[in-house]
Chains A and B, each alone.
Chain A
Amino acid sequence: MTAVSETIAPAKPMPQRRTNLYFVWCGVLGDPVARVAAAIIILLVLMAIFAPWIAPFPPNEANPALRLMPPGTEGHLLGLDNQGRDILSRIIHGSQLTLISGILPVILGAAISIPLGLIGAWYPRLGEVIMRVMDVLFAFPMALLAIMLAALMGPGLVNMMIALVITLVPYNTRVVYAAARQERELAYVEASRAMATPDLKILFVEMLPNVVAASIVYSCTIVGAVVITAAGLSFLGLGVQPPIAEWGIMTSEGRSFVFVAPHIAAIPGLAITLLVMAFNLLGDSLRDSLDPKTRLTLVKHRPGPGGG
Chain B
Amino acid sequence: MNAQKNLIDVRGVSKTFTVKSGTFFRKAAASTKAVNNVSLTIRKGEILGCVGGSGSGKSTLGRMIMRLIEPDDGAILFDGTDLRTLSPEAMRQYRKRLQIVFQDPLQSLNPRRTVAENIARPLMNFGTSPAVANRRVDELLELVGLDPRQSYRYPHEYSGGQCQRIAIARALALEPEFLFLDEPVSALDVSIQAQILNLLSELQKKLDLTFLFVSHDLKIVKQFCDRTVVMYRGCMLETGTSEEVYRDPKHPFTRDFLGTVLHVRKDSRWEQAAERAEDLESATRQSEAGCIYAGTCADRFQRCREAAPALTEIEGARHVACHLYSQPKQ
- Answer yes or no: A187 CB below 8 A from chain B CBs: yes
A296 to chain B, nearest CB (A): 7
- Give CA–CA (A193, B108) in the complex, Å: 12
- Answer yes or no: B239 CB below 8 A from chain A CBs: no
Residue contact B110 to A210, C-beta cutoff 8 Å: yes
**A210: nearest chain-B partner, CB-CB:** B112
Residue contact A14 to B95, C-beta cutoff 8 Å: no
A14 to chain B, nearest CB (A): 7
Cβ of B272: which chain A residues have Cβ within 8 Å of it?
Answer: none
Residue contact A293 to B107, C-beta cutoff 8 Å: no
* Contact partner, B152, options A16, A188, A194, A209, Cβ 8 Å: A16
Interface size on A, residues (CB 8 A): 32
Residue contact B114 to A17, C-beta cutoff 8 Å: yes
Residue contact B112 to A195, C-beta cutoff 8 Å: no
Tell me which residues from 90 to 130 in chain B have a Cβ below 8 Å from any Cβ of chain A. 91-92, 95-96, 98-100, 102-104, 107-114, 121-122, 125-126
Residue contact A196 to B96, C-beta cutoff 8 Å: yes
B141 to chain A, nearest CB (A): 12
Residue contact A194 to B109, C-beta cutoff 8 Å: no
- Answer yes or no: B142 CB below 8 A from chain A CBs: no
- Give CA–CA (A193, B111) in the complex, Å: 16
Cβ of A198: which chain B residues have Cβ within 8 Å of it?
Answer: 125
Cβ of A201: which chain B residues have Cβ within 8 Å of it?
Answer: 125
A12 to chain B, nearest CB (A): 9
- Answer yes or no: A61 CB below 8 A from chain B CBs: no
Tell me which residues from 22 to 70 in chain B have a Cβ below 8 Å from any Cβ of chain A. 23-24, 66, 68
- Give CA–CA (A296, B114) in the complex, Å: 13
- Answer yes or no: B159 CB below 8 A from chain A CBs: yes
A59 to chain B, nearest CB (A): 45
Cβ of A193: which chain B residues have Cβ within 8 Å of it?
Answer: 68
Residue contact B68 to A8, C-beta cutoff 8 Å: no
- Give CA–CA (A132, B96) in the complex, Å: 39
- Give CA–CA (A201, B124) in the complex, Å: 11
Residue contact A187 to B157, C-beta cutoff 8 Å: no
B212 to chain A, nearest CB (A): 13
- Give CA–CA (A292, B159) in the complex, Å: 15
- Give CA–CA (A292, B114) in the complex, Å: 10
A138 to chain B, nearest CB (A): 16
* Contact partner, B157, options A8, A132, A194, Cβ 8 Å: A8
Residue contact A292 to B156, C-beta cutoff 8 Å: yes
- Answer yes or no: A136 CB below 8 A from chain B CBs: no
Residue contact A194 to B100, C-beta cutoff 8 Å: yes
Residue contact B66 to A194, C-beta cutoff 8 Å: yes
Interface of B is mostly: loop
**B154: nearest chain-A partner, CB-CB:** A292
Residue contact A196 to B147, C-beta cutoff 8 Å: no
**B98: nearest chain-A partner, CB-CB:** A194
- Give CA–CA (A209, B23) in the complex, Å: 29
- Give CA–CA (A262, B301) in the complex, Å: 92
Residue contact B147 to A128, C-beta cutoff 8 Å: no
B166 to chain A, nearest CB (A): 11
Q: A4-B158, A11-B149 are in contact. Are A196 and B122 (CB under 8 A)?
A: yes
Q: Which of A190, A194, A210, A292 has the most CB of B within 10 A?
A: A194
Q: A11-B147, A188-B108, A191-B102 are in contact. Are A197 and B125 (CB under 8 A)?
A: yes
**B123: nearest chain-A partner, CB-CB:** A195
Cβ of B126: which chain A residues have Cβ within 8 Å of it?
Answer: 196
- Answer yes or no: A139 CB below 8 A from chain B CBs: no
Residue contact A188 to B110, C-beta cutoff 8 Å: yes
- Answer yes or no: A15 CB below 8 A from chain B CBs: yes
Residue contact A194 to B111, C-beta cutoff 8 Å: no
**B153: nearest chain-A partner, CB-CB:** A8
- Answer yes or no: B250 CB below 8 A from chain A CBs: no
Tell me which residues from 121 to 153 in chain B have a Cβ below 8 Å from any Cβ of chain A. 121-122, 125-126, 147, 149-150, 152-153
A89 to chain B, nearest CB (A): 46
- Answer yes or no: A31 CB below 8 A from chain B CBs: no
- Give CA–CA (A11, B147) in the complex, Å: 9
Cβ of A196: which chain B residues have Cβ within 8 Å of it?
Answer: 91-92, 95-96, 122, 125-126
Cβ of B173: which chain A residues have Cβ within 8 Å of it?
Answer: 195
- Answer yes or no: B227 CB below 8 A from chain A CBs: no
- Answer yes or no: B251 CB below 8 A from chain A CBs: no
Report 20 cross-chain contacts, Cβ distance below 8 Å, ordered by A residue: A1-B160, A4-B162, A7-B157, A15-B152, A17-B152, A128-B23, A128-B24, A187-B108, A190-B102, A190-B108, A191-B108, A191-B167, A191-B170, A194-B95, A195-B174, A196-B126, A209-B112, A209-B113, A210-B110, A293-B111
Q: Which 9 A-B pairs have the closest CB atoms?
A: A195-B122, A187-B108, A196-B95, A209-B112, A187-B102, A187-B107, A196-B92, A194-B100, A188-B110
Binding site for B on A (CB under 8 A): 1, 4-5, 7-8, 11, 14-18, 128, 132, 186-188, 190-198, 201, 206, 209-210, 292-293, 296
Binding site for A on B (CB under 8 A): 23-24, 66, 68, 91-92, 95-96, 98-100, 102-104, 107-114, 121-122, 125-126, 147, 149-150, 152-154, 156-160, 162, 167, 170, 173-174
Beyond contacts A8-B150, A195-B121: 15 other A-B pairs, Cβ-Cβ < 8 A, are A11-B149, A11-B150, A15-B152, A132-B23, A188-B107, A188-B108, A188-B110, A191-B109, A191-B170, A192-B121, A197-B122, A206-B110, A292-B111, A292-B112, A292-B156
